[in-house]
Structure formats: structure tokens, C-alpha cells
């Protein structure tokens, strides 16, 4: 089955700096890679996703890149703000009949003033 590794487990940045979170996956058939933000006591919130036919996707201050050959993908957050502080999870799945998500172990991002 799919295995997703995520690094780092914690990340502290100053407000206004950039943050990068990296994930690798094992199943070459995976073709859908979402990122979720989870705040304390809440369910995961989808913030951006990328499909395997695309190398990069951007949405305002967040971007995701995908390297299919190396089987890794990354989340980039620019101009970080205190409200970006949360736990971020990457995930991978095969779209189709069984599109269950396999999640990484999470990155706790702390944006300090």
C-alpha cells in the first residue's frame, strides 16, 4: 500500500518569512495530492491540491510542487501570518474506484511575531 512521509514534524518561522513542507510517497500509481490544514479541535481543511499531470499549482500565498519522477511534493507558504499557525498534512491517493487518502504524519507550523 501507499506510504507517505512528511518533513519536518515542526517548523517555526517569523511572520513574513516563507515556510516549506516536504512529502514523499511510495506508490507510483498515486495521482492526486491534497494538502490539509488542521486547527486545534477541528477537522482537516483542504487548502490546495495537485494532480499528477501538473507540476505546480499556486493559490495566492500558497503553492504546491510535484516531482513525479522523484515521488515527492512540497507545500510552500509565502508571507506567513500568525493565522497560518496550524498542523499541515499532505496526502496521496489514486483517483478512481478507491480514492482513499493516505496521510503523512503532519507538520506543526508556528508563525511567530
Partner 1 sequence: DTGVSQDPRHKITKRGQNVTFRCDPISEHNRLYWYRQTLGQGPEFLTYFQNEAQLEKSRLLSDRFSAERPKGSFSTLEIQRTEQGDSAMYLCASSLEGGPYEQYFGPGTRLTVT
Residues near partner 1 (CB under 8 A): 4, 6, 32, 34, 36, 41-46, 49, 89, 91, 93, 95, 97-106
Q: Which is nearer to partner 1, 78 or 87 (CB)?
A: 87
- State the minimum distance, in angstroms, from the CB of residue 93 to partner 1: 7
Q: Which is nearer to partner 1, 14 or 97 (CB)?
A: 97
In what order do the strands lie in the sheet containing 19-25?
4-7, 19-25, 72-77, 62-67, 56-59
Q: Which is nearer to partner 1, 32 or 65 (CB)?
A: 32
- State the minimum distance, in angstroms, from the CB of residue 108 to partner 1: 9
Grid coordinates of 105: 504524519
Grid coordinates of 51: 494532480
End-to-end CA distance of the chain: 41
- State the minimum distance, in angstroms, from the CB of residue 25 to partner 1: 13
CA distances, 57 to each of 39, 49, 75, 110 (Å): 23, 8, 10, 24
Amino acid at each position: 500500500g501507499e506510504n507517505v512521509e512528511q518533513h519536518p514534524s515542526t517548523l517555526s518561522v517569523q511572520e513574513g518569512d516563507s515556510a516549506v513542507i516536504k512529502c514523499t510517497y511510495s506508490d507510483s500509481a498515486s495521482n492526486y495530492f491534497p494538502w490539509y490544514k488542521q486547527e486545534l479541535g477541528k477537522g482537516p481543511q483542504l487548502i490546495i491540491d495537485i494532480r499528477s499531470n501538473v507540476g505546480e499549482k499556486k493559490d495566492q500565498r500558497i503553492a504546491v510542487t510535484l516531482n513525479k519522477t522523484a515521488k515527492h511534493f512540497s507545500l510552500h507558504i509565502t508571507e506567513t501570518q500568525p493565522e497560518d499557525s496550524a498542523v499541515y498534512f499532505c496526502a496521496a491517493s489514486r483517483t478512481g474506484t478507491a480514492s482513499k487518502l493516505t496521510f503523512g504524519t503532519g507538520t506543526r507550523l508556528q508563525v511567530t511575531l
